[in-house]
Chain A
Amino acid sequence: MTQAVITSRYGDWEPVIGLEIHAQLGTQTKLFCACETSFGDPPNVHTCPVCLGLPGALPVLNRQAVKMAIAASLALGCKVHEKSIFARKNYFYPDLPKGYQISQFDQPLATGGTLDIEADLGARTVGITRVHMEEDAGKNIHGDQHSRVDLNRAGTPLVEIVGEPDLRSPAEARDYMRRVRDVLIFLGVNDGNLEQGSFRCDANVSVRKPGASNFGTRVEMKNINSFRFVEEALDGEIHRQIRLIERGEVFKQQTRGYNADKKHSYLLREKENEDDYRYFPDPDLPPLVIETRLITEQRESLPELPADKQRRYTKELGLSDYAAGVLTAHPATARFFEATVATGATAERASNFIGAEILRDLKTDGLDAQFPVSPEQLGALLALVEAGTISGKQAKKLYGDVAGTDRDPASRAKELGMEVMRDEGALEKLVGEIVSKNAKQAEQYRAGKTKLLGFFVGQLMKATRGSADPELANALLRAALEQDTKDR
């Protein structure tokens, strides 16, 4: 799947990158208890004996999280295993209530997927090693005198998506990360909120000479929560590694943090100081057995994924790559677009209007999106344009009028007197006035400067406050201007 690619950017060095993505599953409740998953509430309000790790408490698996993890695995082309095992990853930290994290280790939920990416090195397919489920830790909050622990997040369900070391540039890493996020948000299993930490990654990177069969010494960059940072952090790290190697220095396998403000990375720990996590199967949780039926069900109910949507928008609906990209940036936008088209609007008109007007006013919060109008309203509005009842300019005005309300565009157009002016008599009269008032321009037009027709159309539109039927206006103006010629 990988091919050696020389990127001049790093001279005679080839970066080798693999990402481990942690994505929060959008369940109502935590992975092993009934506490709500939420963000931004006062500390420790969403806790119970289970997620506090109190003595005697036991985990019970959230089936909804399993379904979501299966969907994610299938969408990433993985094989979902009928049997997987939850394991304990043991280490001490105050934000880890039980002293171990429940994760999956040697028998993960799913393995062996792929994802198509396209960045600076062209379109390529990269491998996905595995997808497994695990619980999130809480959060330590450090003050001057004390450190405090907030366990609201403890036990939040995550999927970890481990990619093969197939990426060869920071831009590819960024594209991969974005595409994984797009898949998850289109499945509705993750809210794509990078700022809130619900989608983040660890990036493993090493450099080697192109064509080398061995990997160089690997560095893991921890907890990167933005597409831009992953690119910046990796670029910085690749340069750092090349500098060290070219200076003849040897460095150890290590884990580094990335400070996005200062744009530099710092050492967290070296390999020999890494914890021995003493993984073993969690005896509190029976093996996770997934019936083939559930896998089939999940596979059949997979929604259209963003890459497929984009392809369809360009191939079948005739939209540009750019437009298709804009419409599939958020699942709600794609849904809105498709619902608008379903009302009868042409794909192009809907796409243009959404791109030009709607997205400017769109408010999103994770997977939730607040559109200023309903697809039905937009459909009705575009139908008025399509029928020639209102002009494009009027459409924008009308949109401003109905946005944020449940007004009906057609009746509002009437009420606002927005209907296209088609009264030939009245228009002819106005045309006559405009031509005689602008005799100089008329002269130039007749002298061959036919581009001036636009000027006259503008004048007519001004006089009719944009309501003149554009085709009729053109025809009448052209006739009037040329009529005068004949009259001579």
Chain B
Amino acid sequence: MSPKLLPRSVVEIAASVRGGEVSAESITQASLDAVAARDGQLGGFLSVAADLALQRARDIDLRRERGETLGPLAGVPIALKDALCTKDQPTTSGSRILAQGIDQQGRAIDPWRPPYDATVVARLRAADAVFIGKSNLDEFAMGSSNENSAFRLARNPWNLDRTPGGSSGGSAVAVAGRMTAGALGSDTGGSVRQPAALTGTVGVKPSYGRVSRYGLIAFASSFDQVGPITHDVASSAAMLQIIAGADPADGTTTHHRVGAYREACSRGVAGMRIGVPAEYFADGLDDEVAAQVRRAIAALEENGASISNIELPHTRHAVATYYILATAECSSNLSRFDGVRFGHRAHGSQTLREVYETTRGGGFGPEVKRRIMLGTYVLSAGYYDAYYRRAQQVRTLIRRDFEHAFQSVDLIATPVSPTVAFPLGSKLDDPLAMYLADVYTLPASLAGIAAISVPCGLGSASGLPVGLQIIAPSFAEEQMFQAAQVVEDTAPDREVIPQACQS
């Protein structure tokens, strides 16, 4: 049986479920069928909550029949990155350290079940979304190919030998593979935007402080933001609308007004000033990527935006700065995985030190260990000033680059990734090459500003998706969506269906 392809739009699904044209149950079933049909191959999910999802969908249908008004995301099947805490449901962050082992199928044995929901999860639930399962990721969101997952390999629905990107690779696979209409990912240095670009989906990194981090298992706290991945811009806007806003449980969220993101999508770009930074079109950018990005920028201009060249001179320091600050924070954030209160604990230890060493030594994968060691090093007495403090200063310079640029432009347009999806395994032995995959997404992360990745066509050589990044000032997500919608509307190849979804 070949299930009918799940509708793409979060907005349309919600409207038809709310209007009673389709049941939440049938949508959920279609989503689960797609997972059953394709995820064995795609590896987008670490756990699927089929019964719970169906039960939830029936409840939504029942409430509609009783005449209750349903939430704005009624019946929309959603995948949640497994770094998000879900009450009583498996939550692994892609790590062995939150499970008692891994079975033959690459599933976590007796994974950690948090006693609470992340704020974003609670907000989506309150909006009547239906959670299909927890999506695959690089362990603790550290990676750009999803290959650092302790559990399964995730594959790009456009080409199964290619990476879907990372770290929110599974979330992008769930959406691009037509298994869910939307997903939540988390973006620390590009972990939503890069997989979105590589899988032909839309991915949003909200401004720092826009979305609650409560219940997101932290990688680097001063960078982490939860964001949606969807097929289209309006759907991302609709999801951001629900998850955005101050949270008393997260002191880094702010009280800035939450914009009317859906409405912003239809406003167009006439009169908007869009800057194009030369630093993002230098060596290392693939021609097929550059071509589609330039085409998309031209389309923005045709739609009334004025395009100008700008400079972001400290861009070249972004990778180094990020890998000092993010690893410093992660070295501390991951200290709580000590085997004492939850998750994996190595047995047979004789001393406390051994408990720590064997638990953490056996529980963390190589990339996580590498980053903990890097981060520990840069914070160590005698090195702090040369690394951490210096990197903080450079972060300020990068932030000022953007502040300066935003005095003359409203938005900035750049590529998301220097290449289309790269072959699985191709960068696994070269961490530095992997780190460079984030070169265009890191600066906005360092600056804490908003950015979105929008599909802007397929690469002429590879036939694989290319993403355009639109960067906006902090809390200017509305403007960002305005331009993103125009990019989407003018993008070629929009109806091409990924290989994995074709049969």
Contacts and interface: CB of A to CB of B under 8 A. Distances in A.
Given A92-B356, A94-B352, A149-B340, A58 B251 contact: yes
A94 B352 CA distance: 9
Contacts of A58: 213-214, 249-252
Interface string B218-258: 10111000000000000000000000000011111000000
A49 B251 contact: no
Interface in A266-285: 276, 278-280, 283-285
A59 B250 CA distance: 7
Contact of A278 (B112, B216, B248, B379): B379
Interface string A70-95: 00000000000000000010101010
B328 interface: yes
- Main DSSP-derived SS at the B contact region: loop
A59 B249 CA distance: 7
B222 A55 contact: no
A357 to B, nearest CB: 51
Given A100-B332, A100-B335, A283-B222, A56 B214 contact: yes
A280 B84 CA distance: 25
A98 interface: yes
A285 B222 CA distance: 10
A260 interface: no
B93 interface: yes
Interface string B367-408: 000000000100111001000100000000000000000000
A284 B251 contact: yes
B336 A280 contact: no
Interface in B320-346: 328-329, 331-332, 334-338, 340-342
B340 A283 contact: no
Contacts of A458: none
Interface in B115-167: 115-116, 118
A56 B335 contact: no
B318 interface: no
B456 interface: no
Given A55-B114, A57-B214, A58-B214, A276 B335 contact: no
Contacts of A52: 341
A99 B332 contact: yes
Given A56-B114, A98-B336, A280 B251 contact: no
Contacts of A279: 379
B70 interface: no
Contacts, number: 103
B57 interface: no
B93 A53 contact: no
A56 B216 contact: yes
A56 B118 CA distance: 8
Contacts of B93: 55
A276 B218 contact: no
Counting chain A CB atoms within 10 Å of each CB, the highest count among B217, B222, B338, B342 belongs to B338
B94 interface: no
A276 B381 contact: yes
A239 to B, nearest CB: 33
Contacts of A286: 251-252
Contact of A56 (B85, B332, B341): B85
Nearest to A147: B352
B250 A53 contact: no
B98 interface: yes
A21 B114 CA distance: 37
Nearest to B382: A276
A90 B218 contact: no
A60 interface: yes
A38 to B, nearest CB: 20
B98 A60 contact: no
A280 B252 contact: no
B465 interface: no
A90 B332 contact: yes
Interface of B: 84-85, 91, 93, 98, 112, 114-116, 118, 213-218, 220-222, 248-252, 328-329, 331-332, 334-338, 340-342, 352, 356, 376, 379-381, 384, 388
Given A49-B116, A60-B248, 4 more contacts: A55-B342, A56-B116, A90-B379, A280-B379
Instruction: For the complex of A and B, list the 4 residue pairs with the smallest distance between their C-beta atoms, beginning with the closest.
Output: A99-B335, A283-B222, A283-B221, A278-B379
20 contacts: A49-B115, A49-B116, A54-B116, A55-B85, A55-B114, A55-B217, A55-B218, A56-B118, A56-B217, A58-B213, A58-B251, A60-B251, A61-B251, A90-B379, A94-B340, A94-B352, A97-B336, A99-B335, A99-B338, A276-B381
